[in-house]
Amino acid sequence: MTENHARPRTFRLSRALPSWSLVAAGVLAGGLLGGAYGVLKTPTYTATSYVIAVPTEKSDTATALGFAQAYGRVATQLAVLGDAQRWAGVPLGTLRDSVRTATSPDAPMVAVSATSTRPARAAAMADAVARALTRHADDVKADTHVELLQFSRAVKPTAPASASPELTGLVGASAGGLLGGLVLLARPRRRPEEEAARPASVPGPAFAADAHGQL
Instruction: Give, in order, the Cα–Cα distances in Å from 132 to each of 5, 196, 204, 205.
Output: 85, 79, 89, 92
User: Which residue did the predictor score with more confidence, 213 or 150?
Assistant: 150
Q: Delimit the domains of the chain by residue range.
A: 19-41+167-187, 45-152
User: Which residue did the predictor score with more confidence, 198 or 174?
Assistant: 174
Q: In Å, how far from its chain's centre is CA 60?
A: 41
What kind of fold does domain 45-152 have according to CATH? Alpha-Beta Plaits (3.30.70)
Could you give the CA distance from residue 81 to residue 118 in angstroms, rounded to a whole number?
19
Neighbouring-strand partners of residue 101: 112
Could you give the CA distance from residue 174 to residue 117 in angstroms, rounded to a whole number?
28
Q: Which tens digits make up the pLDDT trace of 90-116?
A: 999 999 999 999 998 889 999 999 999
Q: Which of 15-24, 55-64, 117-126 has the highest mean pLDDT?
A: 117-126
Instruction: Give, in order, the Cα–Cα distances in Å from 25 to each of 29, 43, 118, 160, 176.
Output: 6, 29, 37, 31, 8
pTM of the model: 0.61
The yes-or-no verdict on residue 120 having pLDDT over 50 is yes
Q: What is the reported pLDDT for 14?
A: 47
Q: What is the reported pLDDT for 187?
A: 64
The yes-or-no verdict on residue 11 having pLDDT over 70 is no
Could you give the CA distance from residue 32 to residue 20 in angstroms, rounded to a whole number?
19
Q: Which tens digits make up the pLDDT trace of 161-171?
A: 655 556 656 66
Q: Which tens digits make up the pLDDT trace of 145-157?
A: 999 998 999 998 8
